[in-house]
Structure 1
Amino acid sequence: MVGSANLNIMIKAARKAGRALTKDFREVEQLQVSVKGAGDFVSKADIAAEQIIKSELMNARPTYGWLAEEGGEEEGVDPTRRWIVDPLDGTTNFLHGLPHWAVSIALEHKGHIVAGVVFDPTKDEMFFAEKGAGAWMNESRIRASGRHRMIESIFATGLPFGGRSDLPQTLQELARLMPVCAGVRRWGAASLDLAYVAAGRYDGFWERRLNAWDVAAGSLIVREAGGLVEPLDEGRDIIGHGQIICANEPIFSGFAKAVRG
């Protein structure tokens, strides 16, 4: 696929940050004897990756705004466009030497996501989409799965950690969903969960208390792959409130009913 100039800039930035993170990942695997030391190392790797992405994107488009996990928000000279970036989604996986993490970059125009990239460097999988142009993984077009039966479908979510107050609600959702599906996965990187729905690897995904940079790129990729995407609590804004539910079209209604109760 030949994408727009903006998409090509995003892919280049994601690959450059991914190369740096891959080098750091090889080192962090050797730091497991010291959790504090590894944590400090990963924090530096995260910040360094964001600086690489920001340099690439802002040098190419200096008037755009910026919203990222580490660097916060900056309003651009052009108030209609901004980059939304997570330089390292799946930090805990990275910290523990688990090869499942990603770089996520989205472009927002007038409140709508118009381009998105989710790059998994350890597997060399580049998921990307532009509004109206379909969804892709490397050189191949991707589509949401075609499964029609909940009992044959697998879903992904995030589980609350560190005593978060939404644990009881999540357990209730799991109790409703698990008896009627083929399984639930928790892999710890929301951007990749969304990309996997787009690629038909998962049939659906839901999660609360996410950030804009967790869902911006992936939500567009799912839509462009033919999936349905909604705020988990109807009437809310996905980017603004950080909660999402998505699935292929045939099972979306049954999936949403099970999760929402």
Structure 2
Amino acid sequence: MSLSDRLLFAARTAREAGKLAQTMRKNPNALNIAEKGHQDFVTAADTAVEDLIRLRIREAFGDDAVLGEEGGLQGTNTHLWIIDPIDGTTNFMRGLPDWAVSIAYCHDGEIVLGVIFAPDLDLMAQGHSGVGGSAQLNGVPMAVSKARAANTALVTVGWSPRTEFSAHAALLGDLIAKGAEYRRPGAATIGLLSVAAGWTDAYVEKHLNVWDAAAGIALIRSAGGTVKMPPLEHYLQHGASLCALCSEEHELSALLQNYHAS
């Protein structure tokens, strides 16, 4: 199956999964919300959606390996799917629209395609890095921002209790001092999508799990942006810092990369 065929499969599966999540949310008492950590939740929808995506992958691709947030790694193969069934679970369960289904595919240690579907926003983003690769949002080509100035920049940021808030707060202060603005959507998928779509200039977070980031990485690269991250082999084992930029020539590039590397 070609990379384009795999991308179509991922988009179709993400849409089906997103609709399942929306349907399950209509009965809040059945969500069975549990806390994995401080302000880190899992619901029955998270597990049901991941189970559905795993089933569809197994039906279509048999021996491909799958890494999911809720079920971990299953299989060993140079063909690897990385899925986050509901990124932004807190937003999802509270009725906020900034959450998404994330599906990425890797081959021979490289992330080569990604799909992010945000059901409440009706946004389907997809992209691949193969021959003729491109990125699309709702069927229309998308590209990263051409902006380069700090004093008109809009940066999306992420933070979790896994890292010190003081460093995060210092970054926000540095951004404001340079005339930039920032947003924190509460879902890395939405932040990364905003860079790929050209709505914001960059995304940075000190600790991000690979299932939160993989599809967004593929989208940003296929939309013409750049991503600073550890080697995928390391990222698959450990959460890590990530910095996504519309361009390394952006005036905020050094500041954001220094924060990422610190």
| TM more than 0.5 | yes
Q: CA deviation at 1:75?
A: 2.0
Structure 2 CA distance for aligned equivalents of residues 65 and 99 of structure 1: 30
User: Which residue of 1 is the match for residue 145 of structure 2?
Assistant: 145
User: Which residue of 1 is the match for residue 44 of structure 2?
Assistant: 44
User: Which residue of 2 is the match for residue 255 of structure 1?
Assistant: 252
Specify every segment of 5 or more residues in structure 1 that has no aligned partner in the other structure, as ranges: none
Residues 200-255 of structure 1: per-residue CA shift (max 9 Å, x gap): 11111000211111111101100111111112x89x95555432111111644x32
Counterpart residue identity of residue 136, structure 2: W
Counterpart residue identity of residue 69, structure 1: E
SS at match of 1:106: strand
Asked if structure 2 preserves the Cα contact closer than 8 Å seen for 1:117 and 1:128, the reply is: yes
Identity of aligned residues (%): 33
Q: CA deviation at 1:159?
A: 2.5
User: Which residue of 2 is the match for residue 93 of structure 1?
Assistant: 91
Residues 140-174 of structure 1: per-residue CA shift (max 9 Å, x gap): 0000011121111100111234xx44212212222
User: Which residue of 2 is the match for residue 196 of structure 1?
Assistant: 194
Structure 1 CA distance for aligned equivalents of residues 198 and 163 of structure 2: 32
Q: 1:115 to 1:92 in 2, by over 3 A?
A: same
Asked if structure 2 preserves the Cα contact closer than 8 Å seen for 1:156 and 1:186, the reply is: yes
Q: CA deviation at 1:93?
A: 0.6
Q: 1:238 to 1:197 in 2, by over 3 A?
A: farther
SS at match of 1:15: helix
User: Which residue of 2 is the match for residue 211 of structure 1?
Assistant: 209
Q: CA deviation at 1:118?
A: 0.4
Q: 1:20 to 1:57 in 2, by over 3 A?
A: same
Structure 2 CA distance for aligned equivalents of residues 251 and 188 of structure 1: 27
Q: TM-score, normalised by structure 2?
A: 0.86
Among candidates 210, 226, 229, match of residue 227 of structure 2 = 229
Q: 1:257 to 1:105 in 2, by over 3 A?
A: same
SS at match of 1:45: helix
Aligned-residue Cα RMSD (Å) equals: 2.5
Asked if structure 1 preserves the Cα contact closer than 8 Å seen for 2:163 and 2:206, the reply is: no
Q: CA deviation at 1:43?
A: 1.1
Q: TM-score, normalised by structure 1?
A: 0.87
Specify every segment of 5 or more residues in structure 2 that has no aligned partner in the other structure, as ranges: 35-40
Asked if structure 2 preserves the Cα contact closer than 8 Å seen for 1:38 and 1:95, the reply is: no
Q: 1:237 to 1:222 in 2, by over 3 A?
A: farther
Q: 1:26 to 1:100 in 2, by over 3 A?
A: farther
Structure 2 CA distance for aligned equivalents of residues 81 and 221 of structure 1: 19
Structure 2 CA distance for aligned equivalents of residues 42 and 22 of structure 1: 15
Structure 2 CA distance for aligned equivalents of residues 114 and 43 of structure 1: 29
Q: Which has the higher strand share?
A: 2
Greater than 6 Å deviation, 4+ residue runs: none
Alignment of 1:56 with 2:56, yes or no, is: yes
Alignment of 1:73 with 2:67, yes or no, is: no
User: Which residue of 2 is the match for residue 17 of structure 1?
Assistant: 17
Residues 14-61 of structure 1: per-residue CA shift (max 9 Å, x gap): 011111111123333xx6xxxx97625961111000011111111100
Q: 1:7 to 1:258 in 2, by over 3 A?
A: same
* Aligned residue pair count: 248
Among candidates 172, 175, 197, match of residue 174 of structure 1 = 172
Structure 2 CA distance for aligned equivalents of residues 99 and 174 of structure 1: 24
User: Which residue of 1 is the match for residue 128 of structure 2?
Assistant: 130
User: Which residue of 2 is the match for residue 246 of structure 1?
Assistant: 244
My pick for the range that moved more, 118-127 or 169-178, is 169-178
Asked if structure 2 preserves the Cα contact closer than 8 Å seen for 1:230 and 1:238, the reply is: no
Q: 1:24 to 1:251 in 2, by over 3 A?
A: farther
